[in-house]
Amino acid sequence: MRRQGLGADIKVVTGTRRAPLRLIAKVAGAAALVVAFATSASAQSGSDFLNTIDPLFSGVLAHPGNLDNTIQYAASAAAHGDIESAISTYEQLRFYNPKLGTTRYQLGVLYYQLGSYAQARGYLQTALEMPDVTPGLRQKIEDLLALADKKLQPDQFSGFAQTGLRYQSNASLGAGSQTVLASGGTINSAFLARPDWNWFGTVGVNYVHDFQTQTGETFEASVLAYDA
């Protein structure tokens, strides 16, 4: 027995999308890091205060010029989802050495994760101009820059396709061979459970238009088609 079905689902959504979070961290030196904790530290001695916070961060406070320690703290903050702290730390690195291409690349990555694509694009473009950029890093910067450019386009398309084969031990949803009717008879063998193979396929397309307003208004439409 062969069954075939065809269907489509269309959805249109209009609404307001929250504008991307834009962080502005222009000057973040060692003094700014200390001031951020000045209130809580005032009731403790200096050594007690450093013992209550992350060891990497205490190293940043004690030795703000230590490049390796600051990089480790920034990477650790980003890995634990504290993107704001990571951005502030990388901004500190950029303040001490504005010609570090890796620092600008990391800032581009973090702003991209926050959805602040214009800010990310600015850092990535300037990163390409830095003298320490290696061929491998340049490729990463260019790849992420291309993604940021796509995100900044007012019209965006995305989609997916899925296909495969499926085996069912009871494709006909029939009764078992031993089923007995109330009258005492048995079910016709033509209506008993039968195994079968079948092919299925699904295709989805999504369209988003960003009106590029301050309130973040967008128009979204999606189409889903399936066959089996």
**Tens digits of residue pLDDT in 8-48:** 555 555 555 444 444 434 434 433 443 343 433 343 444 45
CB 25 within 8 A of CB 87: yes
Of all residues in the chain, the percent with pLDDT exceeding 90 is: 37
What's the rounded mean pLDDT across residues 203-209?
93
Assessment of whether the complete model's pTM goes beyond 0.85:
no
Torsion of CA 122, 127, 129, 134, to 10 degrees: -160
Pairing of strands 196-210, 217-227: antiparallel
Distance, C-alpha 203 to centroid of its chain: 23
Q: Which amino acid is at 39?
A: T
Q: What angle do CA 123, 128, 133 make, to 5 degrees?
A: 115
Q: What angle do CA 219, 225, 228 make, to 5 degrees?
A: 165
List the beta bridge partners of residue 155: 209
CA gap 123, 127 in Å, rounded: 6
What does the buried/exposed string (b/e) look like for 74-95 if buried means 16 or more CB atoms within 10 Å of the residue's CB? bebbbeeeebebbbbbbbbbbb
Residue 101 CB: number of other CB atoms within 10 A?
A: 19
Torsion of CA 110, 113, 119, 125, to 10 degrees: 70
Query: Over the stretch 151-204, which tens digit does the pLDDT of each residue have?
Result: 888 898 899 999 999 998 888 788 776 665 656 667 777 778 888 999 999 999
CA gap 28, 109 in Å, rounded: 18
> Of 114, 101, 111, 113, which Cα lies nearest the Cα of 140?
101
